[in-house]
Structure 1
Amino acid sequence: MHSSLVRLQNAFGFFTTVAFVVAALIAATDLIAPRTPSVGVLKPTNVQVVRGRPHYYSSKKEEYAIIRFSLDADLSSLFTWNTKQLFVYVTAEWPAAKAGSGSGANATNQAVIWDSIITSPSADHLANLGPIAKKKLIRSAQGKSIDPSRGILSLKNQRPKYQITHPSGKIAQQDDVVLRLHYNVQPWVGLLTWNRDSDVGRWKTLRDNVSKKFSFPEVKKKE
């Protein structure tokens, strides 16, 4: 005869096995759902380089860039019944100076200028919002498990959340700068997935997510 403890261990082991199998099947359903994100517009609208203290905790003055941009993108296909939230961010990238110039050995400089977390209706209770905004968001999502309209981004002359600096303290008059849109899908069950450089099955790459090249201007003096 098995003891009560052994029976409890067997029941718990069976439960965890079933839970793991169900979770694996749920995660596999993401491969069935097509992902066809697209970008209509991604461009800088105003670029400035200022010399000063970019943050209140900065110990010295340095050059930093402020980039306003416009973005139109359709990421609605990334929202499925297994999507918890979508992390979207825009980076500014430019090639590093040639070796020997003291700018480091990185092939490309990359800095985040804006980001946003878009929750699905089933995860609105996790949104980091104020009580009034959260109440409105939850009310608008009642009865919905998927809300594709949340994946529609339309930003006009958007102010950046973050200013760009460089370890050298100089960033003005840099050429071949581009903006790039990225996303990260965070599911309820399964692996985190990012935008890819090539198609994988029904998952299509995020096309036209890179802006045309532009340059950082000369330093703008504060009035």
Structure 2
Amino acid sequence: MYSSVVRLQNTFGFFTTVAFVVASLVSLSDFLSARTPTVDLLKTTSLQVVKGRPHYYSSKKEEYAIIKFSLDADLSSLFTWNTKQVFVYVTAEWPSLGSQNNTNQAVIWDKIITAPSSDHLANIGPIERKRLKKSAGGKPIDPSRGKLQLKNQRYKYQITHPSGRIASQEDVVLKLHYNVQPWVGILTWNQEQTWGKWQALKGAASKKFALPALKKKDEGKKNKTTRT
């Protein structure tokens, strides 16, 4: 009954119980920290619709949209001592034809913002890693992390549609999203309602806009003839 194996099992069971309790307390501590993310500016700066192959592996030509935007957001309150990294991304959304409930959504830009304690996990070069360590100054929380000031930001991904047509699409909106990945606990996404000290993301959507029509080759030739 009191063999070495039984004592080892009891010790291991006690250790896992303590570890689970500590992990639960660490996870619950996130709710004690206020989250007040805000977006002061999110707007488009350049719109273009082109017909071609958006990717090298595309089998056929299709219409795809190219969007540039400006963004001014403060997500620094999402970083606590339990934050590993924050995944931020911007989507373009527009309603589906013939349906009021379905919405098309496409990611045009994303970024992973690491906390000082997880900079060593980031897939970045030595110069950028040195800059991050310098900005943190050895602190577990860097107040400058999560402050995004982008002007005329170039897209990362073009927008396409299964139908192959996207020109002249109306009621398009840009939206900012985030996903907080903690060291211990569950993943949390951008919220539309306030939960205690966690405030809803304000100003996350841009004004509605319409994608431009596709330029025809004949129009381009006429413009050149007029100029000459």
Identify the TM-score tier after normalising by the shorter chain. Answer: over 0.9
1:135-166: per-residue Cα shift (whole Å, max 9, x none)?
Answer: 33234434110012111100000001000000
1:48 is matched with: 48
The gaps in structure 2 that reach 5 residues or longer are: 221-228
2:91 is matched with: 91
Q: Report the Cα distance in structure 1 between the residues aligned to 2:34 and 2:137, rounded to whole angstroms.
A: 25
Q: In the alignment, residue 206 of structure 2 is paired with which amino acid?
A: S
Q: In the alignment, residue 126 of structure 1 is paired with which amino acid?
A: L
What is the root-mean-square deviation of aligned Cα atoms in Å?
1.5
1:3 is matched with: 3
Aligned positions of 1:1-223 closer than 5 A: 1-98=1-98, 107-220=102-215
Q: Report the Cα distance in structure 2 between the residues aligned to 1:36 and 1:139, rounded to whole angstroms.
A: 25
Q: CA deviation at 1:130?
A: 1.8
TM normalised by structure 2 equals 0.92
The gaps in structure 1 that reach 5 residues or longer are: 100-104
List, as ranges, runs of 4+ consecutive aligned residues in structure 1 with deviation greater than 6 Å: none
Q: Report the Cα distance in structure 1 between the residues aligned to 2:47 and 2:147, rounded to whole angstroms.
A: 25
TM normalised by structure 1 equals 0.94
Q: Cα–Cα, structure 1 residues 83 and 74, in superposed 2: closer, same or farther, change >3 Å?
A: same
- Seq. identity, %: 71
Q: Report the Cα distance in structure 1 between the residues aligned to 2:115 and 2:32, rounded to whole angstroms.
A: 19
Q: In the alignment, residue 80 of structure 1 is paired with which amino acid?
A: T
2:226 is matched with: none
2:224 is matched with: none
